[in-house]
């Protein structure tokens, strides 16, 4: 007989995590804002236990930080954070292409192009769309990361691009430089599809560096 899949409800911890993370990404919770279990528990109308677990996850992802007294705050983004993240990305992400098996399967190319199309229809004048764009940008780089079968490498790149979501939002540069980034994504996809490994690596490396340059441009809020 056919069995109906069991629907898994979202846990309170995941709901708290997603809600707080969204507030951090959209700057509803600004850098430096204290994150107290009691206050968040009252605001979200849930117990402190799932809040505590959610905050631990946010600290792990560098979206929040703990000071010497154990208090938790929304993390700040400094120019050094941008440079350090760029340095790691520019080394690790091209490494994925070196490890990839060519030719790249058509399914992966299709997924990359679908991601690209989703990004192109978003409006730079709508804050929520900028968040969606930044999340799709992370997804693009995570899809690339999965060209490798190195789980530690994949997890590290995913973590770095989680930080990049927030950097992109806080910088305010998506409104001005989105089209350039999309052209760079398109070039990377084309090179991968055509099996041009060295060109794909170079295009990805230059894209990551261009992103950093935009963060330090006159258009940036950082």
pLDDT in tens, 91-104: 999 999 999 999 99
pLDDT in tens, 184-217: 999 999 999 999 999 999 999 999 999 999 999 8
Does 110 have pLDDT greater than 80?
Answer: yes
Does 83 have pLDDT greater than 80?
Answer: yes
CB 153 within 8 A of CB 94: no
Does 78 have pLDDT greater than 80?
Answer: yes
The CATH code for residues 79-215 is 1.20.120.530
Domain edges within the chain:
12-74, 79-215
Mean local confidence (pLDDT), 147-175 = 92
Q: What is the mean pLDDT of the chain?
A: 91
pLDDT band per the 50, 70, 90 thresholds, residue 125: confident
User: How would CATH label the architecture of 12-74?
Assistant: Orthogonal Bundle (1.10)
């Amino acid at each position: 007989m056919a069995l109906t899949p069991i629907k898994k409800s979202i846990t309170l911890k995941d709901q708290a995590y997603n809600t707080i993370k969204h507030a951090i990404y959209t700057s509803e919770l600004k850098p430096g804002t204290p994150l107290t279990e009691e206050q968040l528990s009252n605001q979200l109308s849930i117990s402190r236990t799932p809040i505590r677990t959610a905050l631990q996850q946010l600290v792990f992802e560098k979206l929040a930080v703990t000071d010497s007294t154990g208090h938790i705050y929304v993390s700040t983004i400094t120019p050094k954070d941008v440079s350090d993240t760029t340095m790691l990305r520019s080394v690790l992400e091209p490494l994925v292409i070196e490890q990839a098996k060519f030719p790249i399967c058509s399914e992966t190319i299709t997924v990359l192009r679908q991601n690209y199309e989703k990004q192109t229809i978003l409006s730079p004048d709508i804050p929520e769309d900028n968040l969606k764009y930044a999340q799709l940008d992370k997804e693009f780089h995570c899809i690339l990361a999965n060209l490798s079968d190195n789980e530690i490498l994949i997890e590290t790149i995913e973590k770095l691009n989680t930080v990049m979501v927030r950097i992109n939002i806080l910088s305010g540069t998506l409104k001005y430089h989105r089209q350039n980034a999309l052209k760079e994504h398109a070039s990377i996809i084309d090179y991968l599809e055509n099996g041009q490994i060295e060109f794909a690596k170079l295009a990805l490396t230059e894209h990551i560096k261009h992103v950093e340059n935009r963060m330090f441009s006159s258009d940036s809020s950082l």
